[in-house]
Amino acid sequence: MAVDDISVRTRRELEEAGLSVESASYLVDRPPGGWGSLVTRDYLRAEIGDTRAELRAEIAGAKVELRAEVAAVGEKVAAVSAKVDALAAELRKEMQEQTRWLTGALLVTITVITVILRVT
């Protein structure tokens, strides 16, 4: 039996069941919006494939951005580390100079006290 014959028979049965001619035709002729508005399995697969591709592209872009940000942070950490190292070296140098000066001052003071005690 052809599709047209089935449609005619179904329309007649719907009318006999009490539906109006318009309602029976609406139900039998096509879905609302036409046959092209039906979602098919192939359409869904294509949409899912497109969505996957878009998502992968976005993830790849996010990875690139994240790597760039991590690299920038790494450069900043390296710069701060270099500054800390320079400050530590400067502090060490100043402490050595201060230790030499205090040691010299202490030796001079001991010498002066020793001379004073021997003289008296």
Average pLDDT of the chain?
90
Q: What is the pTM of this model?
A: 0.47
d(CA 58, CA 42): 24
Whole-Å CA distances, 73 to 64, 68, 78, 107: 14, 9, 9, 50
Q: 11-30: per-residue pLDDT in tens?
A: 888 888 988 888 888 777 77
Q: Which residues contact 21 (CB under 8 A, 6 or more apart)?
A: 15
Question: Is the model's pLDDT at 1 over the cut of 70?
Answer: no
Instruction: Examine the pLDDT at 58 and tell me if it is beyond 90.
Output: yes
Q: What percent of the chain has pLDDT over 70?
A: 94
Q: Give the residue extent of every domain in the chain.
A: 1-38
Q: Note the pLDDT of residue 15.
A: 87
